[in-house]
Amino acid sequence: MCRHACPVFLSTKRDADTPRGHALLISRIDEGLSEWTDDVVDVMYRCSQCHLCKELCEFHWEEDLLIQKIREIIVKIGRVPENVKNLASHIIDHGSVYNVSQIKNLKATNTGNSIDVLYFAGDIILYEYPEIVEKTGVILDSMDINWTMLEKEVSTGIELFELGYTNEAKEAAGNCAARIMEIKPKIIITGNPHIYSAFKKLYPQWGIETLNDIKIYHISEYLNSKVREGKLKLVQNPNLLGIIYHDPCQLGREMGVYDAPRELIKAATGSMPLEFFHNKREAECCGAGSVMHLTHPDVSGKVAQKRVGSALEENARIIVTACPNCKKVFTNAILDMNIDLKVMDIVELVSLHINN
């Protein structure tokens, strides 16, 4: 029944919020015994699509596909909850969940020369954490990387896809890929695992082949490879104690990247990070998957607090993550819990240690 693993269930304790609950409610509708109500539709969006249930299911029940298809049906029959609809409309109209007029890229586009590396930040980093863009730039510049950003980033389509707007997501993806191909970089790096999995996994599935010849890396993979090559030299600071690494669902379970962030932490601090009791493929979600922090901030907040609580159980003092969504909800959770714990993006940690 997988309820023991579902981070949403563990926060709400409601049976409807479990894979079994979803299957039961949907099967009743499918059999014609029940109807799409506002209540049921809302339940189907109270899932962060973290896929932990599938990972731990003895039968590998494909809950991720179920939720994805259900949301597509909800969009198709026009029963999308108002909060989700407003969010999707904003993304479709503005290319972002944020107020894009306030977003400024920090690196000018240089289309005149051939570009090695395109850094795709994604709107949450651009809007919420411009300092991560800045620090990424400092790290890349320290290695004399020929890099740039899009003059104006557009929606990758990933949030629309997660909300069930698959057609609109594919359209946004095509547009995004076209913008990237105006630059024709050799490599794309991003610090947002949702964007990473979209470029690397979803775009090929959606028939978008234009990025096929471009190497795509999460920034932790890219920087770790540079450390291994000896191009990125980090000054170890063993006094940075109590770091615990949180595996973002999209980077870990979805894309299988577990080691690179840990090795980077070791390169920066001299020792491997502390581990959550449930880590790597068993890591619990931060609560921000599937933009649940925007559609259901109350539920998302509780999920984040549980994960922060798990970090405290390991005597952690700093949670390092490799996803801005995780950073956002952990930061809010720590404020709500009024505890002394820091959250850092992996880029922020690396930038503290570069030898320049």
Partner 1 sequence: MRKNAVSSLETIKNELKKIFGEENVIENQSEIDCQKVDVWWITRYRMFQGKDLPQPFVIVFPENKEQIIELVKLCNLYKIPIIPRGGGAGDSGGCVPINGGITVDTKKLDKVLKINEKSLTVLVQPGILQIHLEEYLNRRGYTMNHFPASFHTSTLGGFISTNGTGIFSSKYGKLIDMVHQLEVVLPNGKTFKSLPVNHHSTGPDFSKLFIGAEGTLGIITEVLCKIYPLPEKRTFSSFLLPNLRDGIETGRKIMESGLLPSVMRFYDEKDTAHILKDQYEMEGEGCFFMVGFDGLKDDVDVKSRLTSEIIEKTKGKKLGDKQAWSWWENRLKSYYPPLDYICEPWMTAVIDTIAPYEDIENIYWSMKSAVEDGFKKYDAVFHAHFSHWYDWGTSIYPTFVVKDFPKEFKKAIKLYEDIIDACIMVAIKNGGVVNEHHAIGMRLGSYMKECYGEESFELFRTIKKSLDPNNIMNPGKLGLEGIVKNDF
Residues 117-136 that bind partner 1 (CB under 8 A): none
The pair phi, psi for residue 172, each rounded to 5°, is -65, -40
Give CA 251 to chain center in angstroms: 7
24 is a site residue for partner 1 (CB under 8 A):
yes
Give the residue with the Cβ less far from partner 1, 36 or 206.
Answer: 36
58 is a site residue for partner 1 (CB under 8 A):
yes
C-beta of 81: minimal distance to partner 1 in Å? 13
274 is a site residue for partner 1 (CB under 8 A):
no
109 is a site residue for partner 1 (CB under 8 A):
no
Among 8, 51, 52, 61, which residue interacts with partner 1 (rule: CB under 8 A)?
A: 61
1 is a site residue for partner 1 (CB under 8 A):
yes
Which of 28-36, 147-155, 175-183, 242-250 is the region at the interface with partner 1 (rule: CB under 8 A)?
A: 28-36
C-beta of 293: minimal distance to partner 1 in Å? 19
27 is a site residue for partner 1 (CB under 8 A):
yes
**Size of residue set near partner 1 by CB under 8 A:** 33
40 is a site residue for partner 1 (CB under 8 A):
yes
The residue type at 345 = D
DSSP state letter for 353: T
C-beta of 2: minimal distance to partner 1 in Å? 7
Give the residue with the Cβ less far from partner 1, 2 or 333.
Answer: 2
Query: Where would I find the beta strands (DSSP E) of 299-353?
Result: 318-321, 342-345
Give the residue with the Cβ less far from partner 1, 30 or 141.
Answer: 30
Among 4, 76, 184, 228, which residue interacts with partner 1 (rule: CB under 8 A)?
A: 4
C-beta of 279: minimal distance to partner 1 in Å? 13
User: What is the spatial distance between Cα 279 and Cα 299, in angstroms, rounded to a whole number?
Assistant: 21
43 is a site residue for partner 1 (CB under 8 A):
yes
C-beta of 288: minimal distance to partner 1 in Å? 21
User: What is the spatial distance between Cα 212 and Cα 189, in angstroms, rounded to a whole number?
Assistant: 14
Among 7, 8, 20, 347, which residue interacts with partner 1 (rule: CB under 8 A)?
A: 20
3 is a site residue for partner 1 (CB under 8 A):
yes
25 is a site residue for partner 1 (CB under 8 A):
yes
33 is a site residue for partner 1 (CB under 8 A):
yes
34 is a site residue for partner 1 (CB under 8 A):
yes
Which of 1-9, 137-145, 203-211, 242-250 is the region at the interface with partner 1 (rule: CB under 8 A)?
A: 1-9
Which of 8-16, 69-77, 81-89, 261-269 is the region at the interface with partner 1 (rule: CB under 8 A)?
A: 8-16
Give the residue with the Cβ less far from partner 1, 25 or 91.
Answer: 25
SS (H, E, C) the chain: CCCCCCHHHHHHCCHHHCHHHHHHHHHHHHCCCCCCCHHHHHHHCCCCCCCHHHHHCCCCCCHHHHHHHHHHHHHHCCCCCHHHHHHHHHHHHHCCCCCHHHCCCCCCCCCCCCCCEEEECCHHHHHHCHHHHHHHHHHHHHCCCCEECCCCCCCCCHHHHHCCCHHHHHHHHHHHHHHHHCCCCCEEEECCHHHHHHHHHHHHHCCCCCCCCCEEEEHHHHHHHHHHHCCCCECCCCCCCCEEECCCCHHHHHCCCCHHHHHHHHHHHCCCCEECCCCHHHCCCCCCHHHHHHHCHHHHHHHHHHHHHHHHHCCCCEEEECCHHHHHHHHHHHHHHCCCCEEEEHHHHHHCCECC
307: tokens are: 């994960």
Residues near partner 1 (CB under 8 A): 1-4, 13-16, 18-21, 23-28, 30-34, 37, 39-40, 42-43, 57-59, 61, 277
